[in-house]
Structure 1
Amino acid sequence: MKTNKILTLAFSLMALLAITSCVEDDDYSVPQSQGNEENLALNLLLSQIETGALDLVSIEEVKAMYSSDDDIPFPVDTNIVVKGYVSSSDATGNFFKEFYIQDKAENPTAGLQVITSSSDIYNKFNKGREVYIKLNGLHIGETRVGNGVITIGGGTESDQYGTTVTALTNSQESSNVLRSATTETIIPLNLTFGVVSGEHIGMFVKFDNVEFADDLAGERYFDPTEDYDTQRTLQSCSGLEYSELILETSAFSTFKNELLPTLNGSISGVIVKNFSGDTTLLTLNSTEDVVFENTRCSLLNIDDFNVVYEEDFEGFGNYTNEGWTNVNVSGTNTDWFISGFNNNDYSRISAFSSNNSEADVWLVTPVIDLGTSSDNLLSFDLEVAFSNGIILSAYISTDFSGDPLVATWEPLNAEIPYGSTTGFGGLQPITTIDISQYEGNVNIGFFYEGSDPDATTRYHLDNLKVLSN
């Protein structure tokens, strides 16, 4: 009898060990014998990519497969694979049954959402983890029609508003979403509030010299009167006014009851959209990415400044007679010209219907004398219409003599918005630009990099002012 008890105990221990060996541990460590890949499935996938049996496509290519005009998710029926690096983390509960990937660990250019049936996915798809997604049999679309967040899902469902993607099943996640042993350090993409657009969705980004709005002192990340999410305003001093961005926090986040910091500093998170898709937001992975240790910023006072140059293009003759330089350096016929609407004139450019594969155009102000002032500001208004990319940038030169190609141009921190993709959004003031580091004679240059039909964004420039104190 004693021998039988010992044997029974031994078999029980063996069974327990067998069961335990089938359970993945929390860190999902990759067995050393499998090298850099997580499992045989990924080894096979990588070899198929190498032999051409599978095609590796970019995140940008995946996003282009879905047309929001049709509002119908794209069913993938070809042997393609997309690779990305996880930019989000649900470790604090601020994301739920989803994760985002971006195309590069540093300086990303595109991001995607992936929706799953699993929670606590940070244990497996931790931030920075390199993942490969086999897309055959999956769908690319939106989780809410028209929200502009391109998503990889497992199926589709339809209602009176249209057709959307549904979450990957556990089986699809296991067979189609494969991670490697590589976990990269995700370097946040430095941005300013004014340039944030839908193009940044899914990317891990960083903003410097920002703070929470003045009226939020004593408030917490989450408002207990809300049901699901709380939106708090972040602000950045930009000369004469604040630029703003919304931070959204989930009711299920572990840090929801923490007090908002009252100082100024840097904040990093993932660009997302709100539930309805009409607002682009920042969402935190963790409050460890909020480093506010500096004194709050102060706005400048317009009453302390004098206007040293301004142009509203009303009664404007032509660029040459007014001392402006308008030159297409690529040799094609796209140029700036004076246009107007509703009794308001402005300077306008677009490469649309120009048949120009290259339209690089400079518009340069006359010489502006800043004198020896220690405080100088530049402001102007822009209307951005029918946008297919940000293709306008602003520069300053201290040695411009008529030819923009031989001048020395230094980029200005002009927050050019992405703008409307379908029509007009009206003239909007661009955040005031500090040019106090310059003195004496300067020229402001606007450089348009157009190409028909791929880069044809239309710009209306108006109300340019240079202020000096």
Structure 2
Amino acid sequence: MKQFFFNKYFITLVVGVLFLGCVDKTYNDPENKEITPIPEGSATMSIADLKAMHSGRDNDTTGIPEDVVIVGQVISDDEAGNIYKELYIQDKTGGILIRLDKAPLYSTYRLGQQVGIICDDLVLGSYGGNVQLGIPSLYNGAPAAGRVPGPLMEQYMFTGTVDSIEAITASVKEIQENSSAYLGRKVRINNITSTDNTGTTYADAENETTQNRYFNDGTTSSDIILRNSGFSDFAGDKIPEGAGTMYAIVGTFNGTPQLLINNPATDMVDFTDEGDPTDPEEDGKVLLDENFDELSEGEVALDNWTNSNEQGTVKWEVEGNGNKYAFANAYKSGDEASEAWLVLPTITEENLRLRFRSAAGFFVEGHLDVLEVKVSSNYNGSISSATWSDVTDQADLPVFGNPDGDWWDWKESDINLSSFGGNVTVAFVYHGSNTNSTKVEVDNIVISNDAGSETDPEDGDYYGKANGKEGYALKTALADIITNGHKDKGYSALWTLYQTSDDKYQKSEIIWDMYSDIPDPNNPSVPDGRQEGEYEYELIFDQCGQAGGGEKYCYNREHVMPQSWFDKKSPMVSDAHHIIPTDAYVNTKRSNHPHGVVANVSWTSINGSKLGSGTSASGYTGTVFEPIDEYKGDFARMYLYMATRYEDQIGSWENNSQAGTVLDGSSDKVFKDWFLTLMMEWHTNDPVSDKEIDRNQQIFETQGNRNPFIDHPEYAKMIWGN
């Protein structure tokens, strides 16, 4: 045993010395230690040889000899919530699952990062045929590999550099016929399609239950399972149609191969009918569309593009596994100043629109001017002689300069270039140095000629088609307006939207939750700080899927019109105009009951929201949920929006779940008398607030449509009367 402890701490010491040897101030933080590679020869056994030691039987564990160390690369990422307290790593021989009692793991063990595991005191176990690594434990009274406690993880694990992941290309048939060769490894399956019904979601987001979905690539008549968690951010997102490429981790359950993805955004790519949210509207012609997926890794080299290091040695390069992107990074460049230009081909059409997404990492404190977006109308091949206009302020870029910022969080930008006429050249400019070495990535660059296709309501034309109409004719006109331009961003995109649409103090800190907010009695419409008894949630950090044991636990996403009422179909299931961030426990208490006025209270939240039976005066005595007075109008206008936006289908929802308590089965009036009367009262008594106006604008900028009853409260009376 003494010999083992020498080896164990020798490895730790070697890695530690290398960390200290990396003196650049940007990377000596423990969270950034992936910059230092794990020394070659640290592994004393391959993953395949380690797994071969176990019988493969469930309810059985195998002890591991002293001095065994494995080194692999992280191929799992739990940021989207599809993986929980598990880490998958692979080397050239195989892959294995490590059970860890900590979540999330993605910021500690990054996708593509080297990880070494000192296996002393650990055991091999199996669940459903998947060999696992963990601590000695019991499961239902039988030996099992348990989760390594969070505080002990560093005792067993050390990390190294981050690199692209090499996925094995395999067919469904090959995986099914020789699953043991692929277990625990990352595979790439080409030309794969969903065999479920069109519109099927990845899992059951409403009930948060895990689901099996089925895929095939045409190489066999037997489908393969893709298993997805109901707690994942994308559980309610639709599976893409058509054929595409899937990157997945291979598992098994009692002899049946299964697939597991980290996130559809990175693992479900190039599907023919996916409907990329960066694609322009159909009425706009795509003039440039580059996602870099067809390029080889290395410097960006495309016809009619210019990749120039105007200062220093840094140029734009391509990297990525499956979803490739362009990046620039001055780390270890030796440059006192780096200025890298990526100049796109000149477009000679008018009304242009630029869309792209960007992400960043390895943030350096104070390094703010990392990326610029510039436009020229007289570029002729010479960067220095052209006149460039800076449009960076119109882009939604990563927040630079904070080492604790959101690493690799993709931001979507949409810039109107119509003011530049019909001769437009766009350039992305990276600024850095050997010490200011933030890394930036750019992808999905699209230029189209539809800059005028979405009308800002400020110019009066957005609701132009509704002018002169009233009654249900007005409602139908509004339905056409707010349906045209509506872009379904998917359920998981709501988390990002909430960072701006529901930012309580406009400081990117606190979520505005109408089920926990206690308004200032002297100024109820303005958030003036936490009131007595009030609790608040931090943006991002306190978001969750589960409700916990009561209030104050976390916030999740509440469908004001419950998913069960429209059978969880898209785009309703991800329409931000009626999905709000709320206390997860209060959301559970509300369930799928309609909103109403409570007569006999059965439960009251901390902020005074109530659950109980409705009043006889209202016309409905079943169970209802009543929000506080300050937000009743907000909820009413969400219901009116849903009645209008989905006029063409809401008449068929009456028999779904409890929808019939509110809906009358018509497509014009939509609501039963008791509910319509109540919503009109709430709409009148709680007028539109600044909160709603700001939220409406943020959703419009992301989703492409508006709630007309916020912009024009008078429309409600014009349609439904008193």
TM class by shorter-chain length?
A: 0.3 to 0.5
Give TM-score, length-normalised by structure 2: 0.32
Which structure: greater strand fraction? 1
Q: Which has the higher contact order (CA 8 A, sep 6+)?
A: 1
